[in-house]
């Protein structure tokens, strides 16, 4: 391999990139769009769930319970009704997600020894939100029950209620449990797969379609020089996109970066190399730009989105699907990013993920080189 020939191929590819200004613009704009879209739209935090109420009791005790709901950041009481018909209409139309029905004997039953039942109706068509909302509603109910018990003890004994065991929950690494802190690091993997799918998957295929590959073959240039020369420009663009993603995550969404910035870029470079050579390998194999681009999206982008743990927890997947995730390189890259970003740990703990990314990159380089040699022969 000669540096002069490699530089010539890279320079030729840079000229193609700069001439196709629309594609170049997309490679810069898409990371920003993905960060804004996923950062704002893909929000799994439960806030201000629209709630309707039928307060049959209409006493100070029932108002105290409703004040706990309305004062929390999780529920927003919109309307009060006096029948199930209107409650059902709001749940069916989507104007409400949760409905509270307080029985007419609520205040009187609180004075007795039997537990009082308050009905909480959730719109189960959105199972995840309904599950979270019911969990928070149960928590508010327990808080109210504790307040009532404390008042009873105070009236009977004149002393405050002493809880024998008090659980103090604390979330490490993401204390506010913000979904943005989990989502934004994973977008880096999405950005690099998009670059590979859009750009490198059509580079060699475009040469075949335009008839310029025959001219390259007739020159002294070798297969490794063609592959590396075509990858270099997109590697530079990809790392620039990584810088954009890291910067927007810090300044726009305030995602903490507790670990090494250099390690983030080093692991991103390793993953990007594998993704770029994956796109090149598809481009060499398919020889058609449209087909290569579609296969790259299906084989690269979709597994990164669905099977990497970026959005859906791998532990919640069926066992056969969990086994498939082990061949998705984004799984290891996202685990690396979350460890570096949120926990501030390094390769002393995450080294196995880095090694697997290195194996993936080396395998893609070998595969792309072998496929091009076969095509040239």
Confidence of residue 208 (pLDDT cuts 50, 70, 90): low
pLDDT of amino acid 217: 64
Domain stops at, among 123, 157, 191: 157
Q: What is the per-residue pLDDT for 353?
A: 94
Same domain? 103 vs 190: no
Q: Is the domain of 182 the same as that of 66?
A: no
Give percent of the chain with pLDDT exceeding 90.
26
171-207 tens-digit pLDDT:
888 887 788 888 888 888 888 887 777 777 777 667 6
Q: Are 50 and 95 in contact (CB under 8 A)?
A: yes
Question: Percentage of the chain with pLDDT > 70?
Answer: 91
CA neighbor of 343 nearest in space, from 249, 289, 264 = 264
Asked if residue 136 is part of any domain, the answer here is yes
What confidence tens digit (pLDDT) does each residue in 300-339 have?
888 888 888 887 888 888 999 999 999 999 999 999 999 9
CA distance 330 to 73: 34
Residues 126, 145 within the same domain: yes
Residue of 288, 300, 298 whose CA lies nearest to 196: 300
- What's the pLDDT band for 280 if we cut at 50, 70, 90? confident
Higher pLDDT, 8 or 242: 242
pLDDT at 87: 92
Q: Is pLDDT of 68 > 60?
A: yes
Flag whether pLDDT at 276 surpasses 60.
yes
Is this prediction's pTM over 0.85?
no
Judged against a pLDDT cut of 60, whether residue 218 lies above it is answered with yes
Q: Is the pLDDT of residue 229 over 60?
A: yes
Asked if pLDDT for residue 374 goes beyond 60, the answer is: no
Q: 13 and 139 share a domain?
A: no
202 and 351 housed in the same domain: yes
Question: What is the structure's pLDDT at 315?
Answer: 86
Whether 165 is in a domain gets the answer no
**Residue that terminates a domain, selected from 96, 126, 157:** 157
Phi, psi of 328 (to 5 degrees): -95, 110
**Where is average pLDDT lowest: 6-20, 210-224, 282-296?**
210-224
Question: Do 32 and 76 fall into the same domain?
Answer: no
Q: 271 and 365 share a domain? A: yes
Contacts 24+ apart (CB under 8 A), 269-272: 269/235, 269/239, 270/354, 270/357, 270/358, 270/361, 271/189, 271/192, 271/329, 271/330, 271/333, 271/357, 271/360, 271/361, 272/192, 272/195, 272/196, 272/235, 272/238, 272/239, 272/242
68: domain CATH number is 3.40.1710.10
Question: Which among 157, 190, 207 is the end of a domain?
Answer: 157
d(CA 316, CA 318): 7
Say if residue 250 is in the same domain as residue 203.
yes
Domain count, the chain: 2
> Does 67 lie in the same domain as 200?
no
pLDDT score at 162: 66
Measure the CA–CA gap between 350 and 336, rounded to whole angstroms: 6
Does residue 162 sit within a domain?
Answer: no
143 Cβ neighbours under 8 A, 6+ residues apart: 68
Average confidence (pLDDT) over 78-86:
91
pLDDT: which is higher, 368 or 220 = 368
Are 144 and 23 within one domain?
no
Q: How many CA atoms lie within 13 A of 85 on its CB side?
A: 0
| Residue 221 and residue 255 in one domain | yes
User: Does 167 map to a domain?
Assistant: no
pLDDT mean over 277-291: 80
Do 37 and 61 belong to one domain? no
Q: What does residue 220 show for φ and ψ, rounded to 5 degrees? A: -70, -5
More confident site: 198 or 91: 91
pLDDT for position 203? 73
Alpha carbons 246 and 341: distance in angstroms, whole number: 10
Per the structure, the complete domain to which residue 136 belongs is given by: 49-157
Q: Which of 108-112, 139-143, 170-174, 347-351 has the lowest mean pLDDT?
A: 108-112
Mean pLDDT across the chain: 83
Q: Can you give the pLDDT at residue 161?
A: 63
Residue 375 has pLDDT above 60, yes or no: no
> Do strands 75-80 and 49-55 pair parallel, antiparallel, or not at all (unpaired)?
parallel
Q: Is residue 170 part of a domain?
A: no
Residue 44: pLDDT above 80? no
Is residue 172 one of the residues assigned to a domain? no
For residue 281, tell me if it sits in a domain: yes
Whether residue 168 is contained in a domain is answered as no
Helix (H, G, I), strand (E, B), or coil: what is residue 60? helix
Please state, in angstroms and rounded to a whole number, the distance separating the CA atoms of residues 54 and 120: 11
At residue 127, the pLDDT reads 83
Report H helices in 169-287.
179-195, 201-210, 213-218, 223-251, 261-286
CB 57 within 8 A of CB 104: yes
Residue 23 vs residue 312, higher pLDDT: 312
């Amino acid at each position: 391999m000669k540096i002069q020939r490699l530089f010539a191929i890279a320079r030729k590819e840079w000229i193609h990139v700069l001439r196709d200004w629309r594609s170049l613009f997309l490679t810069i704009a898409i990371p920003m769009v993905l960060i804004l879209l996923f950062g704002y739209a893909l929000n799994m935090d439960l806030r201000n769930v629209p709630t309707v109420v039928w307060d049959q009791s209409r006493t100070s005790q029932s108002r105290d319970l409703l004040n706990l709901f309305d004062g929390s950041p999780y529920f927003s009481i919109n309307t009060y009704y006096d029948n199930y018909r209107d409650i059902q209409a709001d749940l069916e139309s989507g104007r409400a997600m949760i409905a509270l029905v307080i029985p007419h004997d609520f205040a009187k039953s609180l004075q007795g020894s039997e537990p009082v039942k308050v009905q909480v109706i959730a719109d189960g068509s959105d199972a995840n939100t309904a599950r979270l909302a019911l969990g928070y509603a149960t928590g508010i109910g327990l808080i109210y029950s504790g307040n009532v018990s404390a008042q009873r003890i105070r009236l009977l004994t004149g002393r405050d209620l002493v809880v024998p065991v008090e659980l103090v929950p604390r979330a490490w690494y993401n204390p506010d449990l913000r979904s943005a802190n989990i989502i934004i690091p994973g977008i880096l993997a999405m950005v690099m797969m998009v670059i590979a799918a859009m750009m490198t998957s059509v580079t060699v295929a475009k040469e075949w379609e335009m008839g310029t590959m025959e001219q390259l073959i007739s020159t002294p240039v070798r297969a490794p020089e063609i592959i590396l020369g075509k990858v270099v420009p997109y590697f530079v663009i990809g790392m620039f996109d990584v810088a954009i993603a890291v910067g927007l995550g810090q300044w726009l969404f305030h995602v903490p970066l507790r670990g090494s910035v250099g390690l983030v870029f080093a692991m991103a470079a390793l993953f990007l190399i594998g993704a770029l050579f994956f796109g090149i390998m598809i481009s060499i194999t398919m020889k058609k730009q449209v087909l290569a681009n579609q296969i790259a999206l299906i084989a690269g982008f979709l597994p990164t989105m669905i099977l990497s743990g970026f959005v859906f927890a791998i532990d919640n997947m069926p066992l056969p699907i969990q086994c498939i995730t082990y061949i998705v390189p984004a799984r290891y890259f996202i685990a690396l990013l979350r460890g570096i970003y949120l926990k501030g740990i390094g390769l002393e703990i995450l080294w196995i993920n880095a090694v697997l990314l290195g194996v993936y990159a080396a395998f893609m380089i070998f595969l792309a080189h072998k496929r091009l040699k076969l095509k040239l022969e």
